[in-house]
Chain A
Amino acid sequence: NAGVTQTPKFQVLKTGQSMTLQCAQDMNHEYMSWYRQDPGMGLRLIHYSVGAGITDQGEVPNGYNVSRSTTEDFPLRLLSAAPSQTSVYFCASSLPGQGFYGYTFGSGTRLTVV
């Protein structure tokens, strides 16, 4: 049971480049989400999904796209990277059903945009 797997762990992009941050979970979690973590700003929600085919915006969605074609995968796309997107990105998922018992987090992707 791998939990939540994020790849890559580190990435350096040039301004204007595009890339996809990968997130996969093997726990059959319906809910998946992407956060960015910046010093002094805590965790901010970028996008989330309550199930395959359903996505919605969080607090800071601009510059990011997501899709959810399967229960397992929830990739985050940066279409044209900007220095303001330099951050640590975390993917998180949670158990299905009406109960809510907290998230399982991936180990993060540290992204630098130069």
Chain B
Amino acid sequence: AQSVAQPEDQVNVAEGNPLTVKCTYSVSGNPYLFWYVQYPNRGLQFLLKYITGDNLVKGSYGFEAEFNKSQTSFHLKKPSALVSDSALYFCAVRDGAGNNRKLIWGLGTSLAVNP
């Protein structure tokens, strides 16, 4: 069965330090992987995606993610965290086979960047 896991409910990091938000997945075919961010009282915003190609994907606001097929992971990273990065982050996966548009969502990781 398809699934996504975000093993950390919350991540705390000091401003200026690198941050990592973890995501692992399970799909039967080739994965389409996504990261979204949700700021308080807002809808979700697209950050980046992996469909195919280079394993390191660059996205919005200085974020990047690394696709690791052998570890079935797609961790979100940023070299230097900002206080404004504090938000809820969701990882999602779609099974690349067929025309199914449905995404499977992780439960989210709350990122707190401390000044």
**Which residues of A approach B to under 8 Å, CB–CB?**
4, 31, 33, 40-43, 45, 48, 50, 58, 90, 92, 94, 98, 100-108
Contact = CB atoms under 8 A, between A and B. Distances in A.
6 contacts: A31-B101, A40-B107, A42-B105, A48-B101, A94-B101, A105-B43
B94 A100 contact: yes
Contacts of B99: 98
A90 B45 CA distance: 12
A51 B44 CA distance: 22
Interface of B: 32, 34, 36, 41-46, 49, 51, 90, 94, 99, 101-103, 105-108
Contacts, number: 48
A104 B101 contact: no
A103 B103 CA distance: 9
A48 B103 CA distance: 11
A104 B106 contact: no
Contacts of A40: 107
B45 A43 contact: no
Contacts of A98: 99
B22 to A, nearest CB: 15
A58 B103 CA distance: 11
Contacts of B107: 40-42
Contact of A105 (B32, B41, B44, B101): B44
Nearest to B105: A43
B49 A43 contact: no
Given A106-B43, A107-B43, A108-B43, A101 B49 contact: yes
